[in-house]
A and B are shown apart, each in its own frame.
Chain A
Amino acid sequence: MSRFTPENLTLAREIIGRYPRPKSALIPLLHLAQEQEGWISEEAMREIAELVGVTPAEVRGTGTFYEMFHFEPIGRYLLNICGTMSCALMGAGDLLHAAEEELGIRAGGTTSDGLITLHRAECQAACTEAPCLQVNYRYRFRVTPDGVRELISELRSGALADEIPPHGTLATVRQHIPADRAVGAVDPDEDTSPPSWVPVSVEGAS
């Protein structure tokens, strides 16, 4: 069940083809696996390893470095409350307390119904709109403790199901490079000639 769907497998191959070396596609493919399942399983890592030509240990090695990847199931909604300086100065601590109280869990935990995982996050690049938070990486700005409670009740009631896709989905639009427009990726060690538009008389002549 953790294998890529046929559509995602096609997409995975398309993504790999954009890079001069397949391993560069590793992080995008981990995202794709997480989008499909909500988290990243051993099986998914094995499949990615096969696709990019590395060992499963290398996939895990890279993946575990990055915070956004989860190797155990987490909530449908990941609630990240920023606690870095600008948000902290503007009352982020109250938001986290309100969320902990409302959800009955501590930061780092998941509600028993598997709906919401709560994290104390680091700077989310919205410092003037402090305090801020993200739900599955969708922003909420200038949030109050009441706003957090309201948000949680909306997540529970399903009112935001259309607006906020389940955990794992980032952009809902993907890049597609049309085959008739693509220059294409070439192995950097095979083609070392200057690009066509660079005059040879200027570059590399001296």
Chain B
Amino acid sequence: MTVETYPWAPGFVAGDRPKIVTSRFAHEDSHTLERYLATGGYEGLRAALAKSPSEVHEQVRGSTLLGRGGAGFPAGVKWGLTPEGVFPRYLVVNGDESEPGTYKDRLLMERDPHQLIEGCLIACYAAGLSRCFLYIRGEMALAQERVATALNEAYAAGYIGRDILGSGFGVDIVLHWGAGAYVVGEETALIESLEGNRGMPRLKPPFFPAAIGLYGKPTIVNNVETLSNLPFIAANGPEAYTAIGTETSPGTRMVAVSGHVRRPGVYEIVNGTTTFRDLLYGEEFCGGIRDGNDLKAFVPGGGSAPWFLSDQLDLPFEGRQVGAAGSMLGSGAIMVMDSTTDIPAAALTLTRFYAHESCGKCVPCREGGTWLMRVLERVVAGEGTSDDLDLLLEVGQSICPGDMPHASSEALGLDATPFPYKMTTICFVGPSAYVPVHSALTLFRSEFESRVAPARSRTRIPVVAAGGGQ
């Protein structure tokens, strides 16, 4: 059992596990074309170009490669949603990684940009996409630099542009970069932003930009990690890919584990079988909670995910089981809170994030997120009353009406409510402001109650007198 870290890849922790997307991270020069070609680079593209586009699409379908952006939608199925015979079609790469707790796309762009480029080329070839826009988060200056350098190298070497490798296949990859807006990670907001507009999600339907996307044309939006898996699948075949992981969650996944653990890090794990206990306590992973403390709670799938307790540690990192247990895997990010954590304050950091990032299009999110933040702020500051706890849930209900998913707890005698929730907003930013509040209040209500004063007797403003109803 070995654990390796590399000074040129801060945060990444390697071990004796199958590697698909991080296989070159051990090399300091993994971002260069020279190293890429010396380690099997662009072999997947060559293998793909020797087949017909539909054969390559079939390979990806057969691999059951699940999207790594958060929703976990199978990439091969997504590609198939483009309407037949409608052109041009575009590929938009979602490198706007901003979900709290999450980072793996940044590492993949900084450390192996050619792998991503090769993945883009394979996707364009297979799905008939004639132009690719690679949208990188604005704040990621190094990733932009590495991808720009790699694109320049790959153009010069004939891997991108006209008549790639003499095959007749030709596509441009255009580097695009954002300017600071979490919501742009939502695929229709990403497209709006790429069209030069405010990054607000589009009304649905149409549900998939594969039907109507960039400039109203069929558009595939894929995540950086998703595309980075394609060179392996094209070079080695879908069987080699499905040989790793489980039937429903094949391959590997990048998972970032942060917070109160001994060795926080980004790990490439075997998909579907690795449990949260392995990740948090395994010596080849995080090695336990810091200072020998007890685990209090953890967020299993990025800031938008309902929280888990130690009751859920033995669940595998697998979408369906985690969903049934009341949360989601999201973007592959675990945030760990030990016994010293101030739970209401921790919830506030997430609610404030989503309130801040609301684009303002849907009222329940724009107003509700801010209300949740303000009420929670006064509770955390010790200025709230017990009314405020009910108010938090009431405001939350206007964003997510009905049952909210949450974890089970033996100590609290609580059964799980499975994912997902209902929502009154177009995208997940609004619900995500409520999720941490709901999780914290459901699982740690006593911590809130001990901070608030008894309910004040309030005088309701008599709206009836103004001619309104009760």
Contacts and interface: CB of A to CB of B under 8 A. Distances in A.
Contact of A125 (B52, B102, B349): B102
A206 interface: yes
Nearest to B155: A181
A177 B171 CA distance: 12
A199 B52 CA distance: 8
A151 to B, nearest CB: 17
Interface string B83-115: 011111000000001111111011000000000
A1 interface: no
Interface in A50-78: 52, 54, 61-63, 65-69
Given A137-B140, A175-B175, A195 B88 contact: yes
B243 interface: no
A59 B127 CA distance: 34
Interface in A106-155: 122-130, 134, 136-139, 141
Contacts, number: 251
Interface string A32-51: 00000000000000000000
Given A27-B196, A170-B138, A192 B103 contact: no
Contact of A86 (B100, B142, B193, B195): B100
A47 B374 CA distance: 40
Interface residues of A, number: 77
A188 interface: yes
Given A20-B131, A184-B172, A195-B128, A86 B197 contact: no
A85 B198 contact: no
A27 B172 contact: no
A28 B162 CA distance: 24
B84 A204 contact: yes
B144 interface: yes
A23 B195 contact: yes
A14 B177 CA distance: 15
Nearest to B54: A202
A128 B155 CA distance: 34
Given A27-B178, A68-B180, A128-B11, A177 B155 contact: yes
Nearest to A138: B141
B54 to A, nearest CB: 6
A204 B53 CA distance: 14
Contacts of B24: none
A134 B139 contact: yes
Contacts of B346: 85, 88-89
B111 to A, nearest CB: 14
A123 B100 contact: yes
Nearest to A19: B174
B300 interface: no
B61 interface: no
Interface residues of B, number: 91
Nearest to B171: A183
Contacts of B98: 122-123, 125
Interface in B354-395: 356-357, 359
B69 to A, nearest CB: 14
Contact of B100 (A65, A85, A191): A85
A38 to B, nearest CB: 15
A25 to B, nearest CB: 7
Nearest to B136: A171
A175 B258 contact: no
Contacts of B220: none
Interface string B115-138: 000000000010011110000011
B267 to A, nearest CB: 10
A30 interface: yes
A66 B181 contact: yes
A88 B349 contact: yes
Interface string B317-351: 00000000000000001010100010001100110
Given A188-B88, A199-B53, A170 B265 contact: no
- Scoring A19, A125, A170 by chain B CB atoms within 10 A of each residue's CB, the highest score goes to A125
Nearest to B157: A181
B196 A23 contact: yes
A125 B181 contact: no
Given A88-B349, A138-B141, A24 B194 contact: yes
A171 B148 contact: yes
A160 interface: no
A92 B170 CA distance: 47
Nearest to A22: B196
A196 B168 CA distance: 7
A65 B182 CA distance: 11
A84 interface: yes
Contacts of A96: none
A143 B345 CA distance: 21
B349 A194 contact: no
A19 B193 CA distance: 13
6 contacts: A84-B350, A85-B303, A127-B101, A137-B138, A177-B161, A183-B162
Interface of A: 18-21, 23-28, 30-31, 52, 54, 61-63, 65-69, 80, 83-86, 88-90, 122-130, 134, 136-139, 141, 170-178, 180-186, 188-189, 191-199, 202-206
Given A24-B196, A86-B259, A125-B102, 6 more contacts: A23-B195, A27-B176, A125-B105, A128-B265, A181-B155, A197-B53
